[in-house]
Structure 1
Amino acid sequence: MPKLVDHDERRAQIIDALLRAAADTGLHAVTMRSVATEAGISVRLVQYYFDTKEQLLLAALNRLTARMGERVRDRVRTAGSSPTPRDIVEAVLLEAVPTDEESRIFHLVYTEYAVLSITDPALGGQPFLAAPNEMEGFLVGQLEAAQQAGDADPRVDAGQEAVVLLSVSAGLGLSVLLGQRTAGDATAVLHYHLGRLFPGS
């Protein structure tokens, strides 16, 4: 009896192969053939699931975005059953720092997508470009909740601080990718700043 194929699993296998290939050679250099080689399958099979490279790129981008959300939620869960606004803010910001191979690949390839979207119309209109704005609004809410609870400096402008926090965490993540500092050093900088922002927590 022939083995039944799990199509979702096969699609995930192909997408993960694209992400690994992009992390090794750059998103611009990825081809259907290089993805097939990385996945250990035929080009024809890759094309069975994804008609074009563009479809594959978009599917991988959606996987990256969903996986980041999962990792943030995992970090928040480690803070306990009743995480504070600071716990949540810290979880969001620390996820921007590459601390393992999965997050290194994520941030490297996600950065490539962001740059590519500037010149590629197919990527320019994708929802992932709205994610930073959504995250900014989310952080504003957490900062305001912390201020109301007396855990964050009441003099801070939550809207402006959310922009600063996201910019700092993104910059630190890039500095880790570039080898300018270690993940531990970047984490220490974030903890330092959060300690000043949340003196009551």
Structure 2
Amino acid sequence: MIPMPKRVDPTERRTLIADALMKVAAEQGLEAVSLRHVAAAAGATTGLVQHYFRTKDEMMLFALSVVSGHTEARISAAVGALGPAPAPRDLVRAMVTQMLPLDEERRADGKVALAFFAYAATRPQVAEVQRQGALGLRDFFATLMPAPAATTLLALVEGLGLYMISGTYPTDVALRALDDFLDSVFRPAAGRP
């Protein structure tokens, strides 16, 4: 009997490679990411990595989609835990706290996402993917709060994430700043100055 060749799931293999890329990026920064380093972290050959990703940009965009998928899964779980009709403030808070580096998984994803901002600065294709994601999120938040507040919220969350990753702000300080902002946006109209 002739042994059948092992069937390989290309999506699974690409995800394993992307996970290796994120590990390298989180530990050493995106500047250390190369096909060779990612292959070593994945326990694969450079040729195998090149089989699934022709260029570094292709690999980086896929890894960005994996990080986004992690965040979306966390957000879905957090929103689901709120029940069928959460208050807008609770919904927003549940979503944005999943974007902050509050534990090791979110911290690793946050480091990779931060590195992607720098990477995208000179790569229009990568920048466009990030831009579309940010605008979609801002537009969603603008259905729950004034549009300028939605823009400010995203900037606040990105800034808090950066300062948390660098150790400048501890978790309690960052969450207090977030809650103060959300309180100012969602305060009942009668209480507003």
Partner of 1:65: 68
Report how many aligned residue pairs link the two structures.
185
Partner of 1:176: 164
The answer to which structure, 1 or 2, has the higher relative contact order (CA under 8 A, 6+ apart) is 1
Q: Which amino acid aligns with 1:170?
A: E
Indicate the SS of the match to 2:84.
coil
Partner of 1:185: 173
C-alpha separation in 2, matches of 1:60 and 1:174: 20
Shift of 1:51: 1.9
2:15 to 12, 30, 33: 12
Judging changes above 3 Å, is the alpha-carbon distance between structure 1 residues 183 and 17 closer, same or farther for their aligned structure 2 residues? same
Partner of 2:144: 142
1:161 to 144, 149, 160: 149
Contact 2:163 2:169 in 1 (8 A): yes
Gaps of 5+ in 2: 189-193
Shift of 1:95: 2.4
Identity of paired residues, percent? 34
C-alpha separation in 2, matches of 1:136 and 1:25: 31
Partner of 1:154: none
- Using structure 2 for the length normalisation, give the TM-score: 0.86
- Using structure 1 for the length normalisation, give the TM-score: 0.83
C-alpha separation in 2, matches of 1:162 and 1:107: 20
Shift of 1:84: 1.9
- Match status 1:36 vs 2:24: no
Q: Which amino acid aligns with 1:32?
A: L
C-alpha separation in 2, matches of 1:165 and 1:23: 25
Shift of 1:52: 2.0
Q: Cα deviations across residues 174-201 of structure 1 (Å, max 9, x unaligned)?
A: 110110122233123212332343345x
Contact 1:23 1:109 in 2 (8 A): yes
Contact 1:65 1:128 in 2 (8 A): no
